[in-house]
Amino acid sequence: MVHLPSKAGAVIGLLAALSLQLAPAPVRPPALEAGLTSLFASDGEAVNFSAHAAWSIAAPLTGQALFGRAGLWSFGGTWMAYSLVNEFALHGPEGDRERNLNLVSRLGPCAVILLIDLLRNGF
């Protein structure tokens, strides 16, 4: 007596075999970061930029969460002042590129948050 597999088992086996044979190799398009991070010379620059941007967002929003609008402005202003002092007085010799990236990533996000608050709530 010959034992034939059930129809469901045969269909599942056939589909599995076809999916292995017919599935195209995963296409690896040009990496997303190729367009997004091509402005960075290295992974270290990208990480540094994103860390500065994260702190630049976190500082004023933490102030707002703790002390309201006054906290937003005091923490944001303190962050921006610290960033300027850090870049121009505390950093060692560095190239213009690094300094510019640091200033954009440190001051930009915080300035946008403060500008949004100013436009929404006035002086």
Per-residue pLDDT of the chain (123 residues; tens, 9 = 90+): 555 556 766 666 666 665 555 555 555 555 555 555 567 878 888 889 999 999 999 999 999 999 999 999 999 999 999 999 999 998 877 788 899 999 999 999 999 999 999 999 998
In a domain, residue 35? The reply is: no
Q: Is residue 10 part of a domain?
A: no
Q: Which domain holds residue 107?
A: 40-121
Tell me, yes or no, whether 12 lies in a domain.
no
The per-residue pLDDT for 67 is 97
Q: What DSSP state is assigned to residue 38?
A: T
**So what's the pLDDT on residue 55?**
96
Residue 72 lies in a domain: yes
What Å distances lie between residue 28 and 13, 31, 38, 40, CA to CA? 29, 7, 18, 21
Q: Provide the whole-model pTM.
A: 0.68
Q: What are phi and psi of 31, to 5 degrees?
A: -50, 145
Is 67 domain-assigned? yes
- Count of domains in the chain? 1
DSSP state at residue 39: T
The whole-angstrom separation of Cα 114 and Cα 108 is 10
Asked if the structure places residue 25 within a domain, the reply is: no
Question: Is the residue at 102 inside a domain?
Answer: yes
In a domain, 17, yes or no: no
The pLDDT of residue 91: 81
Q: What is the pLDDT of residue 104?
A: 95
